[in-house]
């Protein structure tokens, strides 16, 4: 038994996504939070815990207390988690589960979101350049963008396994196709492999269409006990297994590709759930770049080590495949505000509310991925309930 | 233009590294207990937590472990005069990997596994950075 067995994600919500002038990160998180509470069938006074992360565009201390203040809440716990990528939201779920088990909370609101576009116009943002810890030994060389850290690993994968730019392009095309089925996606216009190959080089081998978006967006979810969820009468998602792994902080100190934490994280989550990747009806992989998906399908065991490129090229990522990947469109096309939307869409698949991108009868969905530059990994196997 | 990012050369654990670089020498700490040479420098060995360390001169030789050619000046114009520029991870012959620039790279031939040797770049900001040049 795990405290995670006792919780249910009962409501999810996201704001409009894209360029939202004048919106602060807090206002986006609060808007999503109010909508998520309504989606859960709960009311303001039911919320007695707030869990959040500021994101990087308006980084802030004690962020969860700020969210609580903004929403007029005075919870016992106002907790920030910052694991990176999906780990931030997964670790929040672990915190909520422990709080509910300890009697410190009965219904928690978890909010995320950034204003990565609009903060630049306000002049109040800060570049995330040093946030991966390379201010002394990396930034002086111009290693200041997350994407060039990812490019270092994409280049090595190409060298070791023969992965091609066209195979990365297949990830971009599949993500955009899924986004075309999602009316709230930031970028919905379908793209072709030619579009990908014609897009300008950003940090070799990654082109513009290999890069995730920057978006103004907020997302939120509400967590309560399984018993409470049943009484609410709304479909919900349960945690079947959770695993994680952390190997480094700065990109240059990472282990080699086959020693990164992805397979370890996924293996732990599957072992704890008693399931395998063959049981998954869909997976959601944190896609800071197209290469993250190639690494992710390998880590989850959907293909062998080094085979992620051909796997993507085979069409195995798309909605009509055995195990589609990133059905909301991912950060490549749906929107990028810290990566919470993967978890939200995994929950929607289990609730049966994913619209045109719904996998009929989805029972097991996996959310997986990394924070930093493959620094931390987190994997959550989710199941449905009502 | 606010100038390029400058390392903190006064950090107690890493100052000898920057002092060596200013003399155009590449030096790293080695654990007296298990012999591990590690990067970046810190107060103790990350392998065994021993604080019995000795600063050692490196041979300066290494191989390109991976690299990227950066085509965009991110965030502001700090790197606008440099793009495109190469950022590489170098595996030193003594074992550790470090991130560094590659000077005068031939992009038509630059490849993972290329042999490199250290050289030094004296920056106008008053700091010297180890960088690498492809050899053979």
Picking from B14, B13, B52, B63, the residue whose alpha carbon sits closest to that of residue B30 is B52
Q: How far apart are CA B17 and CA B24, in angstroms?
A: 10
Residue A284, pLDDT above cutoff 50? yes
Question: Is the residue at A41 inside a domain?
Answer: yes
Q: Which residue has the tokens 């880590």?
A: A299
Average confidence (pLDDT) over A197-219: 97
* Chain B residues touching residue A155 (CB < 8 angstroms): 66-68, 112
List the single residue in A137, A143, A152 with the smallest CB-CB distance to B40.
Answer: A137
Q: What are phi and psi for residue A303, nearest 5 degrees?
A: -150, 175
Picking from A274, A279, A244, A214, the residue whose alpha carbon sits closest to that of residue A369 is A244
Q: How far apart are CA A54 and CA A80, in angstroms?
A: 8
Residue B82, pLDDT above cutoff 80? yes
From the CA of A306, how many Å to the nearest CA of chain B?
Answer: 16
Average confidence (pLDDT) over A243-252: 94
Domain hosting residue A11, numbered range: 3-124+214-232
Q: How confident is the model at residue A241 (pLDDT cuts 50, 70, 90)?
A: very high
* Chain B residues touching residue A139 (CB < 8 angstroms): 5
Residue A313, pLDDT above cutoff 70? yes
Average confidence (pLDDT) over A344-372: 97
User: Looking at residue A163, what is its pLDDT?
Assistant: 98
Question: Is the residue at A76 inside a domain?
Answer: yes
More confident residue, A75 or A60: A75
Chain A touched by B73 (CB under 8 Å):
no
Are B84 and B69 in contact, with CB atoms under 8 Å apart? yes
Total tally of structural domains belonging to chain A:
1
Q: Which two tokens stand for residue A87?
A: 């780990």
Average confidence (pLDDT) over B86-107: 97
Which are the contacts of B125, defined by CB distance < 8 A and separation ≥ 6?
B3, B4, B6
Residue A130, pLDDT above cutoff 60? no
Q: How confident is the model at residue A56 (pLDDT cuts 50, 70, 90)?
A: confident
Listed in sequence order, the DSSP H helices in A222-280 are: 226-232, 262-273
Average confidence (pLDDT) over B92-116: 97
Q: How far apart are CA B94 and CA B50, in angstroms?
A: 19
Q: How far apart are CA A67 and CA A65, in angstroms?
A: 5
Q: What is the pLDDT of residues B58-67, one digit of tens each?
A: 999 999 999 9
For all residues of chain B together, what is the average pLDDT?
96
Are A89 and A80 in contact, with CB atoms under 8 Å apart? no
Q: How confident is the model at residue A57 (pLDDT cuts 50, 70, 90)?
A: confident
User: Looking at residue B1, what is its pLDDT?
Assistant: 46
Q: Which two tokens stand for residue B134?
A: 């492809």
Count of Cβ atoms closer than 10 Å to residue A247 Cβ: 18
Q: How confident is the model at residue A307 (pLDDT cuts 50, 70, 90)?
A: very high
Q: How far apart are CA A319 and CA A174, in angstroms?
A: 9
Question: Could you tell me the maximum CA-CA distance found in chain B, to the nearest angstrom?
Answer: 46
User: Looking at residue A218, what is its pLDDT?
Assistant: 97
- For A151, the closest chain B residue by CA position comes to B68
Are A25 and A115 in contact, with CB atoms under 8 Å apart? yes
Alpha carbon separation from A150 to A2, A233, A300 (Å, rounded): 34, 43, 19
Are A86 and A369 in contact, with CB atoms under 8 Å apart? yes
Q: How far apart are CA A260 and CA A109, in angstroms?
A: 32
Name the percent of chain A in helix, strand, coil, to the closest 5.
40, 20, 40
Candidates A133, A144, A147: best to mutate against B (most CBs of B within 10 A) is: A144
Residues of B (21-60) whose Cβ lies below 8 Å from A = 39-40
Q: How confident is the model at residue A125 (pLDDT cuts 50, 70, 90)?
A: low
Q: How far apart are CA A330 and CA A297, in angstroms?
A: 14
Residues of A in CB contact (< 8 Å) with B are 127, 129-130, 134-145, 148, 151-153, 155-156, 159, 200-206, 250-253
Residue A128, pLDDT above cutoff 90? no
Count of Cβ atoms closer than 10 Å to residue B87 Cβ: 26
Average confidence (pLDDT) over A247-272: 96
Phi-psi region of A103 (alpha: psi -120 to 50; beta: other; left: phi over 0): left
* Chain A residues touching residue B76 (CB < 8 angstroms): 127
Are A54 and A81 in contact, with CB atoms under 8 Å apart? no
Question: Is the residue at A349 inside a domain?
Answer: no
User: B87, A142: Cβ pair inside 8 Å?
Assistant: yes
- Cβ burial, residue A352 (10 Å; 0-12/13-18/19+): middle
pTM (global) more than 0.80: yes
* Chain B residues touching residue A137 (CB < 8 angstroms): 7, 39-40, 98-99
Q: How confident is the model at residue A119 (pLDDT cuts 50, 70, 90)?
A: confident
From the CA of B65, how many Å to the nearest CA of chain A?
Answer: 8
Q: How far apart are CA A371 and CA A86, in angstroms?
A: 7
For all residues of chain A together, what is the average pLDDT?
95
Question: Is the residue at A24 inside a domain?
Answer: yes
- What CATH number did the domain enclosing A60 receive? 3.40.47.10
Picking from A96, A346, A79, A148, the residue whose alpha carbon sits closest to that of residue B79 is A148
Q: How confident is the model at residue A123 (pLDDT cuts 50, 70, 90)?
A: low
User: Looking at residue A19, what is its pLDDT?
Assistant: 95
Question: Is the residue at A218 inside a domain?
Answer: yes
* Chain B residues touching residue A159 (CB < 8 angstroms): 66, 111-113
Q: How far apart are CA B133 and CA B135, in angstroms?
A: 6
């Amino acid at each position: 038994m795990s405290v995670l067995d006792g919780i249910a994600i009962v409501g999810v919500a996201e704001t409009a996504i894209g360029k939202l002038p004048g919106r602060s990160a807090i206002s986006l998180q609060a808007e999503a939070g109010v909508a998520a509470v309504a989606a859960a069938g709960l009311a303001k006074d039911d919320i007695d815990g707030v869990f959040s992360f500021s994101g990087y565009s308006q980084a802030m201390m004690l962020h969860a207390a700020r969210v609580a203040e903004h929403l007029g809440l005075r919870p016992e716990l106002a907790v920030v988690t910052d694991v990176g990528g999906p780990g931030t939201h997964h670790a929040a779920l672990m915190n909520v589960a422990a709080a509910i088990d300890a009697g410190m909370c009965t219904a928690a609101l978890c909010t995320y979101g950034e204003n990565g576009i609009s903060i630049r116009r306000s002049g109040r943002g800060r570049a995330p350049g040093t946030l991966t810890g390379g201010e002394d030994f990396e930034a002086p060389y111009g290693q200041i963008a997350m994407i060039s850290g990812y490019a270092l690993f994409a280049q090595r994968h190409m060298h070791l396994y023969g992965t091609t730019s066209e195979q990365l392009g297949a990830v971009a095309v599949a993500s955009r196709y899924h986004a075309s089925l999602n009316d709230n996606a930031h970028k919905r216009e379908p793209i072709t492999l030619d579009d990908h190959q014609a897009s300008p080089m950003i940090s070799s081998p990654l082109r513009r269409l290999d890069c995730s978006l920057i978006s103004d967006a907020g997302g939120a979810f509400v967590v309560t006990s399984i018993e409470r969820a049943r009484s609410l009468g709304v479909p919900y998602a349960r945690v079947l297994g959770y695993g994680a792994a952390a190997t480094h902080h700065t990109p240059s100190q990472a282990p080699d590709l086959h020693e990164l934490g992805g397979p370890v994280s996924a293996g732990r989550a599957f072992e704890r759930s008693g399931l395998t990747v063959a049981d998954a009806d869909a997976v959601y992989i944190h896609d800071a770049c197209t290469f993250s998906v190639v690494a992710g399908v390998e880590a989850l065991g959907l293909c062998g080590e080094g085979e992620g490129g051909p796997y993507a090229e085979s069409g195995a990522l798309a909605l009509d495949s055995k195990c589609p990947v990133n059905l909301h469109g991912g950060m490549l096309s749906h929107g990028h505000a810290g990566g919470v939307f993967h978890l939200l869409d995994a929950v929607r698949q289990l609730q049966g509310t994913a619209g045109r991108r719904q996998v009929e009868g989805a029972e097991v969905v996996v959310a997986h991925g990394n924070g930093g530059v493959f620094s931390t990994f987190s994997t959550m196997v989710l199941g449905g309930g009502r | 233009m606010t100038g390029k990012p400058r390392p903190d050369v006064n950090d107690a654990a890493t100052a000898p590294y920057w002092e060596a670089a200013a003399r155009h020498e590449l030096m790293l700490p080695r654990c007296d207990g298990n012999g591990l040479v590690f990067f970046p420098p810190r107060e103790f060995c990350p392998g065994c937590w021993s604080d019995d360390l000795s600063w050692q001169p490196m041979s300066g030789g290494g191989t390109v472990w991976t690299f990227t050619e950066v085509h965009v000046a991110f965030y502001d114009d700090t790197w606008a005069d440099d793009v495109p520029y190469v950022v590489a991870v170098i595996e030193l012959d003594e074992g550790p990997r470090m991130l560094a620039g590659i000077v005068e790279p031939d992009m038509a031939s630059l490849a993972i596994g290329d042999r490199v040797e250290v050289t030094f770049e004296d920056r106008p900001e008053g700091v010297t950075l180890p960088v690498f040049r492809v050899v053979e």
